[in-house]
Structure 1
């Protein structure tokens, strides 16, 4: 070969990333082209015979395949071609992939004399193939292990690929078992026909079905429910191949939803009945409250006492209440009570307290004994029921003959009084709060008296008024209540209570009370 032809060959081999070798079978020497020497990483004087000494230079996993291919190629009755893809250890320690090709030259008797061939560096291609295989493997692992059914179908709606999940669902072992089958092999005719019609429509319109819930009818099995997404299957050029989809078995969800729907309907019916009973109970509770005290006036011994009240329950069933109990022509008892919490439980305690009040009417002239009897009865009931509840209360006796207001508090705020443009909160019976009702048996209560001459107006209130909170969780507080009562003291008693309620609402979040509010007030004047 002349130099020009040799150069042309070298350029062609270089362009193809290929080098030439020539080996006489059985000899140690081997010829490598300049290009192949560069690929192998050796010069001509040190280059090893990779073909004859493959075990020293090829990857352990490739040695056996290469040697088998070489042995077969050299056999008298074999084809004359050698073909193997192997990893070769480069002198720099890196592994290079080579596609080794060779043609055997034989004598007249068929004995192999010489092998001429090429090495092609396919490292980049091989790494790309390995990467692609790994990517396909990861994708297949994902498809086979996701808890949903994934499948591809051809234009005839025959399965082309399916994951393990859908295979198990159809009673098969692997996705390969579904290949070539259709929905008619598993479902009832009606459902299979519907599925086929849907897939034809998807292929014709190229419009997918997204998150469609369907009922599946099986042959010989109970119906199931699935959420389906089906799309047209196109190749990378946009040519239609069929359909593919993802389905999720939502049978348990549907069954649960139906149970919840039934339960919700039952609860709705029960709630209606409960609301009706609650409304009846509220009407009864409201009916048990004293009739409006507006217009109620107690006159005797040159004095006149008028009354007003405001009652604002926080719920249908309230825990605050008041009682006005005539004792004699010139004496009246006033009870304001606040049961812990509100709602049905609180209203039940209210009912108990009303019964105890009736029982203790004989001691109504003595605030301390009146509260003592109510507390003893309530503690006894709650202990038998193994319930912990309590109620605060204030009981006042207005005696025009004696000209006094006597009161006793059971864990309740003391009244606020106004006299001659001064407003203050009265002291508790003995300087400290007595225990609330229902907590301790045999609790003692003390009475404090004040002359009616020291009262122009008295206001009794429950904690729902002064404990109302604003957006910063700050309570209104008793001091603010005192200021407002003082500010509105020139107003008539009804107007004063309305102003007090409005003032508290403006302080509250959203203008509402979170607890029951009960206000009871009286004005003391001359009866002349």
Structure 2
């Protein structure tokens, strides 16, 4: 293919005689690679940018040359056969992406348009081509595709890890519900994400005593989920001791979590139910920035909002003491614990449910069994939010005194 064939001078005459000054100005100024080839796919005329690309000083250095003089033989042969087919079949290629392989191994990419070149008589005398270099764009596209593939792979690994974390968390939080002779217990944990930032645990359970901790790690996702497991472990360890009160448990959690939760904290409420004798059942409660516990009193069928003073969230090292409240409970009484995913739930107008409305909802269902209480309250939360529940991790815990 390197044999010198006669150049079809009619194409040069077309450029010189008919295009004139405008034609020359176009070829000098355009940044696209514009070229004319004869019937043998040899260059006849090109834009100045092509001379620069091929490192040639003048048009005379290009005349009579073909792609075989500049590209790899594989690429040049493919281009030659393609152009000969366009000439033979009178077809055109418009804006297609072409990969160029240079003799030194470099690879560039261009968009090319090639059409048969005709004289006024209709005779095809060669090929007109317009090529634009898109190497940078293609490289960016390849990088994006590689990044996307890597991201998909990492996401798949992360999703698998999340599923494992969620499975482990659901097996351990809350774990087995208490089976004690003096109370029925029901729990619902609704997670905003795959892994929940709420925790509920029952460290001590026997015929005369039951302890619990309900908490909320700030933030969401895996980090919050990991620290729920740590907080549960600490609560289980210390509240298994019958001498440990709820206020002491919160103090210990604060000290052990201090500085561990990145830019975060734990809010929690702890409770210890205990019998003094067969006729007297009490609960001691302490809270750190959790919504108030609601106490449904069976004798009056009213709900009392049990507020407790707490000096701050846990894990910040700022809590020296917690108010501990003791309540004497009667048969049929029910205590409702909840994280702020319930009380801070917003309706479509952006208005929060609030503690007072939450207590009102509980009053309407407080006489029901614990599982039905939870089910009804979840329905009310869904209704209040206009179908946008949950907006945060939300845990509900109901304890009915037998």
TM range (shorter): 0.7 to 0.9
CA contact (8 A) 1:281 1:317 kept: yes
Q: How does 1:111-190 map to 2 (within 5 A)?
A: 139-140=26-27, 142-143=29-30, 146=31, 148-173=32-57, 177-190=61-74
Report the CA distance shift for 1:381/1:215 in structure 2 as closer, same or farther (over 3 A): closer
Aligned partner of 1:399 among 271, 274, 287: 274
TM-score if structure 2 supplies the norm length? 0.81
Report the CA distance shift for 1:484/1:353 in structure 2 as closer, same or farther (over 3 A): same
CA distance in 2, matches of 1:150, 1:160: 11
CA contact (8 A) 2:199 2:232 kept: no
Match of 1:32 in 2: none
Aligned partner of 1:414 among 286, 292, 296: 292
- Cα deviation, 1:495-514, whole Å, max 9, x if unaligned, reads 22112223323454765524
Report the CA distance shift for 1:169/1:137 in structure 2 as closer, same or farther (over 3 A): closer
- Cα deviation, 1:241-277, whole Å, max 9, x if unaligned, reads 5332332334444445445544544444444444333
RMSD: 3.2
CA contact (8 A) 1:468 1:508 kept: yes
CA distance in 2, matches of 1:421, 1:347: 37
CA distance in 2, matches of 1:483, 1:235: 90
Report the CA distance shift for 1:288/1:364 in structure 2 as closer, same or farther (over 3 A): farther
Q: Does 1:276 align with 2:154?
A: no
CA contact (8 A) 2:27 2:48 kept: no
SS of the residue 1:403 aligns to = strand
Q: Does 1:520 align with 2:397?
A: yes
CA contact (8 A) 1:163 1:174 kept: no
Match of 1:298 in 2: 180
- Cα deviation, 1:427-452, whole Å, max 9, x if unaligned, reads 2x24xx43111112453211122331
Report the CA distance shift for 1:312/1:417 in structure 2 as closer, same or farther (over 3 A): same
Q: Does 1:499 align with 2:385?
A: no
| Structure 1 unmatched runs, 5+ | 1-131
Question: Whose RCO is larger (CA < 8 A, sep 6+)?
Answer: 2
SS of the residue 1:201 aligns to = helix
Q: Does 1:436 align with 2:313?
A: yes
Q: Does 1:459 align with 2:336?
A: yes
Match of 2:16 in 1: none
Q: CA deviation at 1:472?
A: 4.7
- Cα deviation, 1:89-148, whole Å, max 9, x if unaligned, reads xxxxxxxxxxxxxxxxxxxxxxxxxxxxxxxxxxxxxxxxxxx988657644541xx2x4
Aligned partner of 2:253 among 363, 374, 381: 374
CA contact (8 A) 1:333 1:365 kept: no
SS of the residue 1:465 aligns to = helix
Report the CA distance shift for 1:443/1:394 in structure 2 as closer, same or farther (over 3 A): same
Q: CA deviation at 1:237?
A: 7.5
Q: How does 1:71-470 map to 2 (within 5 A)?
A: 139-140=26-27, 142-143=29-30, 146=31, 148-173=32-57, 177-234=61-118, 240-293=124-177, 296-299=178-181, 304-326=182-204, 328-361=206-239, 362=241, 365-379=244-258, 381=260, 387-401=262-276, 402-419=280-297, 420-427=300-307, 429-430=308-309, 433-453=310-330, 456-470=333-347
CA distance in 2, matches of 1:407, 1:523: 16
CA contact (8 A) 2:286 2:325 kept: yes
CA distance in 1, matches of 2:398, 2:283: 13
Report the CA distance shift for 1:454/1:160 in structure 2 as closer, same or farther (over 3 A): farther
* Larger Cα-atom Rg: 1
Q: CA deviation at 1:494?
A: 1.0
Q: CA deviation at 1:235?
A: 5.7
- Cα deviation, 1:406-443, whole Å, max 9, x if unaligned, reads 2111111111232333334322x24xx43111112453
Q: Mean Cα displacement is larger for which, 257-266 or 461-470?
A: 257-266
SS of the residue 1:445 aligns to = coil
Aligned partner of 1:489 among 366, 384, 387: 366
SS of the residue 2:204 aligns to = strand
